[in-house]
Amino acid sequence: MKIVVVAGGLATRMRPITEEIPKCLIDINGKPLIQHQLEFFKEHGYTEFIFNVAHLAEKVEEYFGDGSEFGLTIQYIDEGEELRGTAGSVKLDEDLITEDNFIVFMGDNLTSMDFDKFIEFHQQKGGVATICMRPLPAGYQSSSVITLHKDKRIKVFLEKPPMEEIEKYKDEKRFINSGIYCFKREVFKLIPPNTKYDFAKQLFPDIMKKKLGIYGYVTEEFFREIGRVEKYDAFLKEIRDKKKFL
């Protein structure tokens, strides 16, 4: 199964670090962030990748090439200067994906989750999309609202609604979107071409509205999102002296 790595953002929240290197290449214990994740994927039998790049795209291609030096197969989609949103970016991969299902992974994530179980869950449920999510920790303030039905269908998905809307769900069990998705290939039909289109703001609500099936896969396995300088600094302290953390 192919894995799409979304790595084209400007990474403004990681400046000045990302002024000269893309976020997916920031150093984690002597290796680029995304290399740690790719090595984890390879250990578990996932070797085919599509990198969606834009900001400093040439540096990613220079480092990984076609992936053969790492025992991988890597293709690239360069968005250029026209950033298209997360879903709009993945729409560009349509001709490169021929299998019935594929995974989308954000390039600033690190996780040791069991992807075999994630895919099995997605296929058993039979929906167009499955979102990997984590329980919202007690006392944690999230700007989004995600709740589930008993069968794990997504019940409520609100991306950065007004605070008064969030308050309505304060007593419900809520979850955090991990930015890891499994899709049926037919999802491409739902994403308009040449348009800025986002998973959370547009695609997922559209799937829910059309009742095409969107589910939440809940895991508490290791996960870190390195999207801000303070998160990066904290993670470096967390894994200090560890050669392997995935």
Look at residue 11 and tell me whether its pLDDT is greater than 60.
no
Before 16, cis peptide (omega within 30)? yes
Residue 175 is which amino acid?
Answer: F
Query: What pLDDT does 144 receive?
Result: 82
Residue with tokens 């007690």: 138
For 130, the 3-state DSSP assignment is strand
Give the C-alpha separation, 127 to 124, whole Å: 9
pLDDT band at 182 (very low <50, low <70, confident <90, very high): very high
Which H helix or E strand runs over 98? none
Query: What pLDDT does 104 receive?
Result: 98
| φ/ψ (deg, to 5) at 117 | -65, -35
List pLDDT tens digits, range 89-118: 999 999 999 999 999 999 899 999 999 999
Q: Number of helices (H) and strands (E), helices first, in the chain?
A: 7, 13
Give the C-alpha separation, 90 to 55, whole Å: 16
List pLDDT tens digits, range 43-96: 999 999 999 998 788 999 999 999 999 999 999 998 877 778 899 999 999 999
Give the C-alpha separation, 182 to 246, whole Å: 21
What domains does the chain contain, in order, with CATH numbers? 3-238 (3.90.550.10)
